[in-house]
A and B are shown apart, each in its own frame.
Chain A
Amino acid sequence: MGTLAEEIFSYRLGRPVVAGDTVVVDVDHVMSHDTTTPLAIKAFRKLTQQNNGRVFDQKRAHIVFDHIIPAATIQAATLHREVRDFAREQEIPILQEGICHQVMPEKGFVLPGSIIVGADSHSCTYGAFGAFGTGMGSTDIGVAYATGRSWFRVPETINVHITGELPPGVFAKDISLEIVRRLGVDGANYRALEYTGEVIENFSMSERMTFSNMAIEMGGKAGLIAADATTQAWLRGRTDKDYPLLRAHNPHYEQIIEIDVSHMKPLVACPPDVNIVHPAEEVEDIKIDQVFLGTCTNGRLDDLEIAANILRGRTISPDLRMVVIPASREIYLEAMRRGYLEIFAAAGASVGTPGCGPCIGRHFGVLAPGERAMTTMNRNFTGRMGDPTAEIYLGSPATVAATALTGHITDPRSVLFTENLV
């Protein structure tokens, strides 16, 4: 009986627990990536005597190279080598085929009802599958690598209930920005978000992942969506394991937020905080130097498809450059087969290999002082994409593609409606 978060922990422990309880549980999977693994190794090493120097289970410990891949500097390459040596020693394969939060589900590691900890704050993305995924610091992850366990305070839950009919030109990303605008950047601190309602039920797994991904932008510990037939269909062929379809039962939510999307407009989050949200049509005079389509928020096939439909047969504005990075190799290959990558390249975009790309400002499209980027990222923090005086704007793939055509922030409805693309 309880919220989805309470149901997941109760299921795992075999006894009912409620928000506020502190528990120690076996975790299903542990993940770290190229930039967080080195510190996790340090914590892990401190515990090795008790654990024969081995990770708790090689099949449930995962290292993903995605943040600076391929290595952009000698320093990064050296760091990678250190992690590769550790992975070889521990006999853990290194996954280097895309962003951790995309690859983990694709590999079938993220199953409904499971508990997953990752040394990356966007590990909450796994909530889209009804899994309790959460981000932690390196000591926690080192401990989990050694013991297979972690401690949790079962969180209170804020329910976001989304109803109505989605207007053309408005996408999952726009609704996600609206939620951050309403809750604020710490509105869900220590809490789980649980997304419900007909809009969520009708959304694809990709769209659900956009929601769960952005839970941390409100301080959320998890961004949960109950698994259903859509989840099962997505997982078919990716796992042969059984999993429970847990959902909330008579939940007590700390807060309920109702959103009717029927009259929503495309939105843009302006720097330097994700809750500074304006309708795209009101910020159209802002000139843009770089657009970026990708990341764990919006680098999936449907995101690329939306942008490809807008850019087909067109060229981007000569005033800016465009970077496109599919979130994983699986998406990259399918986008290639469908001709999307060709559309982007022909339009004048740089198409990169799967990974985080310029999302953390380390390579493949950093910003000069004072430059502005319109991106599908989840964060617009000062300095994240390069120089601290550069500015980052966030929006949907459609808004980013429309902006690529004009050179300034553009409400995608102007393009979508005139071209009959919807």
Chain B
Amino acid sequence: MGRIWKVGDNINTDLIIPGRYNVTTDHAQLAKYCLYEAYPEFSQGVQPGDILMGGHNFGCGSSREHAPTAILANHVKVVIARSFARIFYRNAVNIGLPVLVCEEAVLNSEDGHQLEVDLTSGQISNITTGKKFQSEPLDPFVARIVAAGGIINYIEANNGQLIY
């Protein structure tokens, strides 16, 4: 169970990790400046296991992998959004940050609510309101990468080969 941190539509990679702060690959630094200017209360209050919830087109903008890395570095359990920008979604899957698309959960949950998420089944339960939602199923291949914890682990588990 984790707290929902709810953000708006079109949260771009510059808002997630401003260009001034991404000249590093240090996770602690990236964690600190995640959503630093747009949602300062997030970077101060987020706890391991919390849930980040976005609207449409979450993660649009550049191909910088610092963005999902900064979220993962805060030990966020999962990002749930109405839709994701393509390169962000892919980068998140690759580095092992769980991402789910669930329109209903976003429309029926508020910032501060408590959420239970089963990453295997995609079942989402809003503990605060008692409502349950089902996220869109993952593509089977994407699900395998997610289950492995990212693409590097997935390849290592397949003897260094990227196979379907």
Please report A residues at the B interface, Cβ cutoff 8 Å. Answer: 22-24, 36, 39, 42-43, 46-47, 49-51, 119-121, 135-140, 143, 146-147, 149-151, 153, 185-186, 189-190, 219, 221, 381, 383
Contact = CB atoms under 8 A, between A and B. Distances in A.
B119 interface: no
A50 B159 contact: yes
B112 interface: no
Interface string B10-40: 1000100001000001000000000000000
B135 interface: no
Contact of A219 (B86, B90, B163): B86
B63 A137 contact: yes
Contact of A186 (B14, B57, B63, B90): B57
A136 B141 contact: no
B57 A139 contact: no
B45 interface: no
Interface string B30-55: 00000000000000000000000000
Contacts, number: 94
Nearest to B142: A22
B156 A42 contact: no
Contact of A143 (B25, B62, B85, B162): B162
Chain A contact residues: helix, strand, loop or mixed: mixed
Interface residues of B, number: 35
A22 B139 contact: yes
Interface string B125-164: 0000000000000011110000000111001100111111
A36 B56 CA distance: 27
B94 interface: yes
B60 A47 contact: no
A135 B14 CA distance: 18
19 contacts: A22-B140, A22-B141, A24-B164, A47-B156, A49-B160, A50-B160, A121-B62, A136-B63, A137-B64, A139-B91, A139-B94, A139-B152, A140-B90, A143-B155, A143-B162, A146-B155, A189-B57, A219-B60, A383-B19
Contact of B95 (A121, A139, A153, A189): A139
A150 B155 contact: no
A372 B163 CA distance: 49
B114 to A, nearest CB: 31
